[in-house]
Amino acid sequence: MLEHSELAVEAIEKAKPHVTRNREEFLRLLNDVYCYRDIARFFAAKANAAISVLRYQHSGNLADLEAALPLLEESVEVYRDLAGRTDSTYLYANSMQTAQRRIPISGRNGSNKTWGELLVHYENELENFRRNLDMLRSAASVSPEAGSAGARSQGPQLETLRPVHVELMDKNLSYYPLSGKGRIYTDRDFTIDSIAAELAEMQGILLSYERQVGEGTLIRFRNEIPVKILVGFFNGHSYRILDPPSLETDASANDRGQADIRIANALRITGLYAVNVNTYYFEPGENSLRLGKGIALVLGFMDGGQEIPTHDAGISTGVKGEQPVDWLFY
């Protein structure tokens, strides 16, 4: 693919000085050839990055993830050139602008239809990967054996999180133990398969799946001491899922320290995606947790003074021999 695209550029550049008629049409064709080369370079870099990430999925060696970073950076740089070349020469990057299109991302409501629109997603993907790789590097520096071949970057010895009592203002809300096998939604039969050991004493809040999708989440509460609310964001792609906080799209996304993943791959739920845990900090008083439309998990209230070392709990997808890696890009 790379070889053929380079040969095409070489050939059309040789022809360029000799074109004297229909030159505008020729220049459109020349731009097409460069676009095809960009596409070849982009996919080649992405594919090689994916190989390194999937190798890490089995090895647990951070060196495999390190190898993916420059390849992802190269892919975004090339795609940026492609977006520039197509900005005024193409109307659309695809022919199916519907919610049914899922690759590389949903075209719901006619969105993500140009290369320029898609570029933002690839840039965000790269920044998320950099941030999560830095997180794993930090954990490995604290626990050097975590970054060695065959080991997971788990960080320091982890304390069990300390739940605290708060008064829920909505009397219709109730708790469920994360360590139990009960339902996590009032109107769905999903149950927790397994959880990270540090979550064993936490009590989640039972919510409505359909209400989260249609209206979002509001939990009003009164707390006597500082607390952190554990919120589980699903690691997947669906319009029914609430996206995790992102400073790329929301300047207030870290007002309560919620922008960073604290525990990656913290839960496995039969029939749903892996779950990453973020925390929201609240001072004493009457407070409200407001989340946008989409499903998420409110996994309970913990002591606001207890720190959670950022780490990957490694709760697998249930596929034998596979370690979840999708979270690295969210």
Confidence of residue 250 (pLDDT cuts 50, 70, 90): low
**226 and 305 in contact (C-beta within 8 Å)?**
yes
CA pair distance 128, 117, nearest whole angstrom: 18
Q: 196: which 2 tokens?
A: 């990270």
pLDDT above 70 (res 150):
no
Provide the residue count of the chain.
330
Confidence of residue 148 (pLDDT cuts 50, 70, 90): very low
Highest mean pLDDT out of 30-44, 122-136, 235-249: 30-44
pLDDT above 60 (res 214):
yes
For residue 242, how far is the Cα from the chain centroid? 11
CA pair distance 15, 251, nearest whole angstrom: 50
pLDDT above 60 (res 14):
yes
Q: What would the mean pLDDT of 151-169 be, rounded to a whole number?
A: 74
pLDDT, one tens digit per residue, over 289-306 is: 999 999 999 999 999 999
| 3-state secondary structure (DSSP) of residue 53 | helix
- Phi, psi angles (nearest 5°) of residue 113: -100, -10
Provide the pLDDT for residue 249.
Answer: 65
pLDDT, one tens digit per residue, over 198-211 is: 999 999 999 999 99
Burial (Cβ within 10 Å: 0-12, 13-18, ≥19) of residue 288 = exposed
Provide the pLDDT for residue 156.
Answer: 46
> How is the chain split into domains, by residue range?
2-144, 167-329
Provide the pLDDT for residue 316.
Answer: 60
Provide the pLDDT for residue 149.
Answer: 41
